[in-house]
Structure formats: structure tokens, C-alpha cells
Amino acid sequence: MKIRDLKIAGVGMPENEDSLSKGITTGSPVVAYLHSPREKIWGILRELSVAGAFVRGIDLNTFDDWTQTIVRGERNIGLTHVFFPMWRVERISLDATIDDIPSMADQFLARVGLSIDEYLDS
């Protein structure tokens, strides 16, 4: 059984109404909080099921270095496709701008000049 249009309400929701109505869906930028070992992964949610989550992402601690290598035109590791079994998933949060704090996706756009979708499609 797949979880298709999982809707999460409350903190972390984007400001625009279109994104608000969608919630966390396939293709949404997310932060996955994992345990055993403890990790935070930022990326694009590819699939969410009872078995786990497929994310195309990168460790949150390397996000700044990764965007800097893209801006400088250097080779970089890019986002990897990873499956996390549900027993490791503590929570998945929608990457969203809150008040004056930009989302990671918005920070990527500001630094690189492309949305994450445009970058991944190029």
C-alpha cells in the first residue's frame, strides 16, 4: 500500500496556497530525520510507502558545501537516490519557508539561480 497524497498540517508549511493544499507529496522537497545512525537528509521525496521512503537527496550537513561547488562550477557528488526503511524514519518534514527563514529549496534557488527541479532536469 502506498501513501500517495499525505497531508501534514501545521508548522513547516509553505506560504503559498497551492503548496499548502498539497502537503507532502511525491516531488516535494523534504527533510528526513533518521535514527540508527542519526542523520538528517534534505532532498526530493520520490516515494513514500509503508516500507519506507525513497529520497533523492544529500546529508543536510553538506548542503552548503554542495551548493558552493555548483556555483563555482566544480564537479560535485550531486543528489543520490536512497531508500530509507520505515524503522529508520523518525519524521519527514516539508522543506518550507517560515516567516523570514527561507527553505533549503529557496536557498538553493537564491545561490545557484535555478530551482532544484530545473537543476535536476538539466
What confidence score (pLDDT) does residue 7 get? 40
Q: Note the pTM of the prediction, 2 decimals.
A: 0.80
Kindly list the structural domains of the chain, giving each domain's residue range(s) and its CATH number in brackets, ordered by start: 17-121 (2.30.30.100)
- Arithmetic mean of pLDDT over the chain: 86
For residue 91, what are the β-bridge partners? Answer: 33
Would you state the cell numbers that stand for residue 3, as one nine-digit string? 501513501
DSSP 3-state assignment of 106? helix
pLDDT-based confidence at residue 93 (cuts at 50, 70, 90): very high
Mean pLDDT confidence for 67-74: 94
Measured in whole angstroms, the distance separating CA 43 from the mean position of its chain's CA atoms is 3
Interatomic CA distance for residues 108 and 86, integer angstroms:
28
